[in-house]
Amino acid sequence: MMTLKNFLALTALSLAFGTVSAQTEEAALPRKVSNVEVLDLEGKPVTLPYWGEKNLMIFYVDPDHHKQNEDFTVELEKNHRAESDKIHGFGVMNLKDAPMVPNSMARSMARKRTATNGATVLADQTHALSTAWNLGDCNNKFVLMFVTKEGELVFLRKGVLSDADKEAFYEVLENYK
């Protein structure tokens, strides 16, 4: 039988060795987050767009795994499921966790893509976003987040999205349209 003392000791060890699961991070929602400084595609410092003005749908993507949830993002765009004057969606490339993709190449590819679809894409070279928001390990993961205009992170999923994750996200979208 595990005592509370043993449970707390195991929890402390898990935290020390970074084995806390994504479910634990997700369970700590909603939580307040603050605007952070990242880079635009030219390498100039910027803060997150529409902070405090609109609800934000954010794709925080490791360029090594940018197609991880491609079907979901294509469906989302094609069916205009996130389209609303109250929501602004954009991407942030997690460049710190993509050592095999040179930053200049990732930015160049993003500039080409945004030229065709008009999307906003930013770059995080230092884990500024994941550190400030305590996202944990985002390496090799597509991270989907939703932040209210009040600065509350209300949705967070990492990696391949399950059908349940997608449905939960669509519910959040409907609540903030």
How much of the chain exceeds pLDDT 90, in percent? Answer: 54
Does 61 fall in a domain? yes
Q: Which residue has the higher pLDDT, 117 or 43?
A: 43
Task: Record the pTM.
Answer: 0.80
Nearest to 122 by CA among 53, 78, 63: 63
Q: Which residue has the higher pLDDT, 79 or 134?
A: 134
Average pLDDT in the 123-143 region?
94
Does 18 fall in a domain? no
Does 148 fall in a domain? yes
Tell me what pLDDT residue 119 has: 78
Average pLDDT in the 117-144 region?
91
Total number of domains constituting the chain: 1
Tell me what pLDDT residue 17 has: 40
Instruction: Give CA–CA dist 108/149, Å, rounded.
Output: 30
pLDDT in tens, 96-114: 987 666 566 666 676 766 6
pLDDT in tens, 61-98: 988 887 888 899 888 888 888 889 999 999 999 999 87
CATH of residue 120's domain is: 3.40.30.10
List the single range of 50-59, 63-72, 131-140 with lowest mean pLDDT. Answer: 63-72
Does 10 fall in a domain? no
Does 83 fall in a domain? yes
Tell me what pLDDT residue 87 has: 95
Does 98 fall in a domain? yes
The CA R_g of the chain, rounded to the nearest whole Å, is 17
pLDDT in tens, 1-47: 333 343 333 333 333 344 344 445 555 899 999 999 999 988 899 99
Q: Which stretches does DSSP call E strand in 45-163?
A: 45-47, 55-61, 87-94, 121-124, 142-147, 152-158
- pLDDT bin (cut points 50, 70, 90) of residue 118 is low
Domain hosting residue 39, numbered range: 28-176
With beta carbons less than 8 A apart as the criterion, state whether 26 and 156 touch. yes
Tell me what pLDDT residue 167 has: 95
Does 170 fall in a domain? yes
Instruction: Give CA–CA dist 171/168, Å, rounded.
Output: 5
Instruction: Give CA–CA dist 165/129, Å, rounded.
Output: 22
- pLDDT bin (cut points 50, 70, 90) of residue 169 is very high
Does 69 fall in a domain? yes
How many of the other CB atoms lie within 10 Å of CB of 40? Answer: 14
